[in-house]
Each structure stands twice: as C-alpha cells, then as structure tokens.
Structure 1
Amino acid sequence: MPPGEGTFLVCSFWLAENYSLQGRHDEARDLFERLLALRNDVGLLAEEYDPAARTFLGNFPQALPHLALVNTAHRLSCEPRSSRASLNP
C-alpha cells in the first residue's frame, strides 16, 4: 500500500469472521477483541486505522465497520460452547 494508507477495519472484522468459519475460534476471538479495543470513547470506528500512529484514518464514523462488527459478534456467538467457556465463567 502507498504510504499513509491504513488498514481497512471492515476487512479485519471479515478476517475474524473467516477465522471462526474455519474453526479457528481462539484466533477469531482474539482478533475481534483487539478490534473492539480500537473503538473511541463512545464506541465508534473509522474507515481505516493506522497501527503505527494508533489513530483513525478515512471517514469517521464509518457505518461499514460497525456492520461488520455486529456480523462478526453474531458469528462468534454461534461458536461451539466449548470454545467460549473460558470467556464467560
């Protein structure tokens, strides 16, 4: 990517969802939780994120990452019970 480009958050949520569909539940949940940590103080996400500068880039707020967040959360909630047991004691 050219300098100044960030990572598209929607693609990162899609990756987490894909990990879940592949049965890679721990990786899916770890990535999802890292993505959730990027939200601002009121829970909003931008189009892109610059991990080096730790800042949002692009359109803010952006609806598509929020839609992907909801879809990924739903997918993770449908995982087999055994892979979620450690998260909710």
Structure 2
Amino acid sequence: MAQITRDEVAHLANLARIDLSDDELDHLAPQLSVILESVQSISGVAGDDIAPTSHALPLTNVFRDDVVRPSLTADEALSGAPAAEQQRFAVPRILGDEQ
C-alpha cells in the first residue's frame, strides 16, 4: 500500500513552489495516497504476456487504392471560373502587403 506522508507532501509542494497551509497538507496527504494506490493497481494489470497496443481493437484501412483516371485539364477546370490567371483561380486579396 502506497502511503505518502504529510512531510513528503510538504517537500513536493516546496519543490513545485506551492505554498500550502497546514490544513491543506493534512487534507492532501491521504488524497495523494489514494492516487498512488490507484496507479499501483493499474500498473499491475498489464502482464509481460500482453503486447502494448495503441488501440483496443485492430484497425483496418477503409480507404480505397488510388487509381489514376482521366480528369479535367486545367483549361477545362478554369473554363467556368469568373476569373483566372496563370492557370489558377483568381480570388480577391484578403491580406494586405504587410502580411
């Protein structure tokens, strides 16, 4: 059972540059002990025979393979645009020269 004393809490608070009153030290010591017990119980769950994973369930790729197919040329794509320049859509400038 992991127990943390009032003096250890005071030492940790000093290292973290946290000013705690005597009442706060008395209140935090048992709470931190419960947290340490919880962490200790969780660390005992995973055994050496269980491989570390990033997901609980196996992931599969849901994307299709990329296949090159005929598509519009640049001129065809820009033919319906209100304005174009240098084979690009021309849009109003929203940033000034200072950007």
TM-score, normalised to structure 1, is 0.30
Identify which of structures 1 and 2 has the higher relative contact order when contacts are C-alpha pairs closer than 8 Å and 6+ apart. 1
Larger Rg: 2
* Greater fraction of residues in helix: 1
* Greater fraction of residues in strand: 1
